[in-house]
Structure 1
Amino acid sequence: MNTHDARFVRPALAALCAASLATLAACGGSACFGLDGCGGGNGMSNFALSGTAATGKALASAMVTFSCARGSGSTLSDGGGHYGIAFNATLPCILTVTSAGTTLHSLAFAGGTFNTTPETELMLVYLASQLRTSETSLIADFPSNSQFQQVLANQADVLAAQSAVVTNLQQRYAVTLTAPAFLTTPFIVGKAGVDSDLGALAAAGAITAEGMPDSAAVSLLSTAGLAHPLTTTSTPSSGTGGTGSATGGMM
């Protein structure tokens, strides 16, 4: 290579390296170089999701499935109920954790930590009621229902539902929850925080011996959701959510 060629090749290589590093950073450190950056070439992006499945005790070796607006995945939890997966998908996703006779649900509107507990189950009950449907129908129709996808992708709507669960449980069962951000707060079974809150709710009767929300708690959140319907929801941007149209409160 002569000196004249080097003047053009070296800046081009530097620009390529800079672009590659920017792509790596955007992918959260994952090596996903290509024409589509972090995408899978089909409009989907690569996301890493993790969390803990617990009922007051760990849901160990449980099947964890992720059903997203586009794409899906599955993995097993470890002995502490922790799970993690990286896959191509279009958010949001509904999470389903199955262990023996216990099946719990949660959701993810972005990459990161999203737990699955009886509290997240009640959050979906509340959201379903806000949408004038049942939790069962919300989960079944989610892959083809754009309104359901829009609401579950909207961070403001989801966090309002989380707050409604906290408010209603605290007032109905006289339990002060120490971790109100139960959906996204990392926790370890046996430690203070989300797990100790689950233990307190179980002792108060909000969670059954099987690790499921008690029927009275389900009815409580269903009624609360009906009282705060979601009539319109703004389109979320970049997976961070937009402005919701309703707030949750105690019935």
Structure 2
Amino acid sequence: MNTHNVRFVRPALAALCGASLATLVACGGSACFGLNGCGGGNGMPNVALSGTAAIGKALASAMVTFSCASGSGSTLSDGGGHYSITFNATLPCILAVNSGSTTLHSLAFAGGTFNTTPETELMFVYLASQLGTSETSLIASFPSNSQFQRVLGNQTDVLAAQSAVVTNLQQHYAVTLTAPAFLTTPFIVGQAGVDSDLGVLATAGAIDVNGMPDPAAVSLLSAAGLAHPLTTTSKPTSGTGGTGSAAGGMM
């Protein structure tokens, strides 16, 4: 290469390296090149999810799995029950936390914070009942059932189910819950808010000694979901949920 060409090649290489470094940082440390941004080679985007798994105490060192409309991942919670993962997937995702005899479920309709607690388990029961199925069947059919995917990916439907859980638990167990947005509110075990609400529910009998929802609480939310079926649901937009026909409330 002659000196004339070197003068032009070196600045071009420097610009390319700078652009590659900027892209690497933007992708959270994962190298991604080409025209598709931070998506993986499988065509799915990077999704960052985090949350806390707790039952009134932290579910520490628990296995947390993420089963999504496309893609899956897993990680372990830390000593405070907190988990965090970035992986290639298409939302929505079903979360499952396994710790000894306790298995709790939750869901994520977007990237961000999505906790897993007995309250999210009851929300899952409510949504399954709204769809005319059981929690077990909802989980098993989710990968291939477009209706289930639309509902779990629909922010309006999910947040209506969250409100229904709060309303039914407060009225049936005569308690006051201070953190009604239990699905997406970041919290630390031992502090007021989502965690203290779990203690209130355990004292009231809605959560058993293993940290699972009491069968009576499960029956309550199952019946409430059946009373408010989801007949039509709009397709989520931009991965952050859309509008739907969910209706919550006390039986």
Give the match's secondary structure for 2:79. coil
1:65-214 map, 5 Å: 65-214=65-214
Following the alignment from structure 1 to structure 2, what is the Cα–Cα distance between the partners of residues 236 and 16? 38
Find the counterpart in structure 2 of residue 34 from structure 1: 33
Structure 1 residues 70, 19: CA separation in 2 closer, same or farther (over 3 Å shift)? same
TM-score of the superposition, structure 2-length normalised?
A: 0.90
CA deviations on 1:27-67 (whole Å, 9 max, x unpaired) are 5x554432221111322111111111100011111111111
Would you identify which runs of 4 or more consecutive aligned residues in structure 1 move more than 2 Å? 13-25, 29-33
Structure 1: distance between partners of 2:100 and 2:30: 37
| Structure 1 unaligned blocks of 5 or more | none
Aligned with 1:157: secondary structure? Answer: helix
CA contact (8 A) 1:23 1:37 kept: no
* Corresponding residue number in structure 2 for 1:56: 56
Verify the 8 A CA contact 2:53 2:77 in the aligned structure 1: yes
Query: Is contact 2:156–2:246 with CA below 8 Å preserved after alignment?
Result: no
Counterpart position of 1:227: 227
Give identity over the alignment, percent: 79
Which deviations, in whole Å up to 9, do the C-alpha atoms of 1:172-221 show, x marking residues without a partner? 11111111110011111111010000000000000001100011110111
CA spacing shift, 1:245–1:24, aligned 2, 3 Å? farther
State the distance in 2 between where 1:56 and 1:155 align. Answer: 26
Distance in 1 (CA, whole Å) between partners of 2:227 and 2:20 is: 50
Tell whether the 8 Å contact from 2:32 to 2:40 is kept in structure 1 after alignment: no
Distance in structure 2 (CA, Å) of the matches to 1:153 and 1:205: 31
CA distance 1:107–1:73, shift in 2 (3 Å): same
Identify the range of structure 1 (137-146 vs 34-43) with the bigger mean alpha-carbon deviation: 34-43
Summarize deviations over 1:142-170 as a string: whole Å, max 9, x none.
11111111110111110110010011111
Is 1:228–1:246's contact at 8 Å kept on the other side of the alignment? yes
The residue matched to 2:143 in structure 1 has which SS?
A: helix
Aligned pairs, number? 247
User: Can you give the 5+ residue segments of structure 2 that lack an aligned partner in the other structure?
Assistant: none
Q: Aligned partners of 1:171 and 1:20: how far apart in 2? A: 55
